[in-house]
Structure 1
Amino acid sequence: MRGIVLACGNAQSPLIAQRDDVVAVPARPGKDHVDHHLDADRLVVVGTDADLAAVALRLLRKEKLGSVALGYVPVADSSVAALWGLSTDPGRALDVALNGDVDPVPLVRDDVGGVLVGLGVLSPVRGVGYSDADNVLRGQASRIECTPDPDGGLGLRIRIVNKRLFGSKVRESRPRAFQLGCLPTTAVQDGHKHPRPVDKWTWYRHTEDLRLVRGL
């Protein structure tokens, strides 16, 4: 089955308006709007990083990561595009998403049932954190950032940021998993704020990669 373009939320573009393979879905679409399209060889998400993560989660839940490629046309500032070198020009991005080659990239999961495809942030933080078995935080940090590791590696790139009067001090690690126990803090995943403060958080690499269309 050919590819399907998922226009998420208010995503609109003359480039997709007249196409017969476009399906309008809500922002951060769930199973009712995604699952019956999972027989396609390729899904193209036109939307935000949070929309892309929502579709990736459905691929994970339905065990379709190995068979469905995922293309992306960002409609806003995108950590995913910056991380993986995707075009932010709508025409170029759509062409690559529909016709480009697939490149497996790490898929990051969390311990509350979600996935991370771009940038995750915990802020502010006071607690204890581990990258795999290494203690990388004991005390406070302005923020903790997590992305999939663009160099592959074990899967995650963790940045612990402490703001200072002149600049910031950053400690970076590249583990397979990161665990944090802390005083209640705010979690933001791919631009979407978690509904409640959290006092623990885990990111870890899934056993199967995301088949992202990068056109390399």
Structure 2
Amino acid sequence: MEQVLLTCGSHGSRRLPTPSGVPTVALPARPGKADLDPVLAANPRRLVVAGDDADLAAVLQRLLRSDRLDVELAHLPTRGSDAAKAWGLPSDVDLAFDGKASPVPLVRDDSGGVLVGRGEVRGMRGECYCDDVLVLRGTAPRLVAAPGPGGVGVRAGRTGRLPDGRTRAVDLRARSGRGEAVGRTAQLGGEPMTVVTDGVAHPREVRRWTWYRHTTDWLLVRP
């Protein structure tokens, strides 16, 4: 099987023009192993995911766990998608089915999840390092992480804007400060925090959290 269109959750009601012969599989929101393994058993070359960022992350996570990162992924994003912003993805059906896939960094976390668009902690108190760059010491109304060509970017600030690839290091001698950086690993530590990944809150508060670049990239269709 060459390509499969996956419509996730309420996005199954979207009427999408698809090439002749491409099957459509309706799945629940954030599909899991039981939903995706029958699709993967047909050995598709490409999965086109119509859904939000959490749906795309769920599909990518299953590819990672089943050792199927050879399968290409295309995303037909919803309005306001942070994955679309991070990777420059238009809502373009022709691109999704006919575009070229290329390797991009796969960002994971230490709880077994993946990050495709936005990771966020609000009201953080503690420290954050991106590789050896200090990004936060003290408090930040919003600390935001995002994947990108350089790995994982992280930004501590007020507005919640996604990292833009720049580096603004906090002086290691400073008692407090906020900055941003991009690298292979972002490590957070401090008072109990709730981490929200692609719109889904972690089920419990944590004192430490790590996002890091996996050793193998994933295949994403993009302009």
- Report the TM-score, using the length of structure 2 for normalisation: 0.85
Report what 2:140 is aligned to: 141
Query: Secondary structure at 1:145's aligned position in 2?
Result: strand
Displacement of 1:30: 0.4
Distance 2:87 2:156 in 1: 21
Distance 1:78 1:131 in 2: 24
Q: Does 1:55 align with 2:59?
A: yes
> 1:133–1:119: structure 2 CA closer, same or farther, 3 Å change rule?
same
Report what 2:128 is aligned to: 129
Q: Does 1:37 align with 2:39?
A: yes
The one-letter amino acid paired with 1:106 is P
Report what 2:75 is aligned to: 72
Query: Secondary structure at 1:195's aligned position in 2?
Result: coil
Q: Does 1:7 align with 2:10?
A: no
Alignment match of 2:154 (pick from 152, 155, 158): 158
> 1:35–1:182: structure 2 CA closer, same or farther, 3 Å change rule?
same
Point out where structure 1 has 5 or more consecutive residues left out of the alignment: 164-168
Conserved 8 A contact 1:124-1:186: no
Distance 2:187 2:155 in 1: 13
Superposed, which structure 2 residues align to 1:64-213 within 5 Å? 64-65=68-69, 67-88=70-91, 93-149=92-148, 152-153=149-150, 155-162=151-158, 171-213=179-221
Distance 1:109 1:146 in 2: 11
Point out where structure 2 has 5 or more consecutive residues left out of the alignment: 160-176
Displacement of 1:136: 2.7
Q: Deviation above 3 Å: which 4+ runs of structure 1?
A: 16-20
The one-letter amino acid paired with 1:3 is Q
Conserved 8 A contact 2:129-2:136: yes
Identical aligned residues as a percent: 48
- Report the TM-score, using the length of structure 1 for normalisation: 0.87
> 1:121–1:107: structure 2 CA closer, same or farther, 3 Å change rule?
same
What RMSD over aligned residues (CA atoms) do the two structures have, in Å? 1.9
Distance 1:20 1:202 in 2: 38
Query: Secondary structure at 1:58's aligned position in 2?
Result: helix
Conserved 8 A contact 2:49-2:55: yes
Query: Secondary structure at 2:180's aligned position in 1?
Result: strand
Distance 2:95 2:52 in 1: 17
Query: Secondary structure at 2:179's aligned position in 1?
Result: strand
Report what 1:21 is aligned to: 23
Q: How many residues are treated as equivalent by the alignment?
A: 202
Displacement of 1:16: 5.3
> 1:170–1:87: structure 2 CA closer, same or farther, 3 Å change rule?
farther
Conserved 8 A contact 1:105-1:212: yes
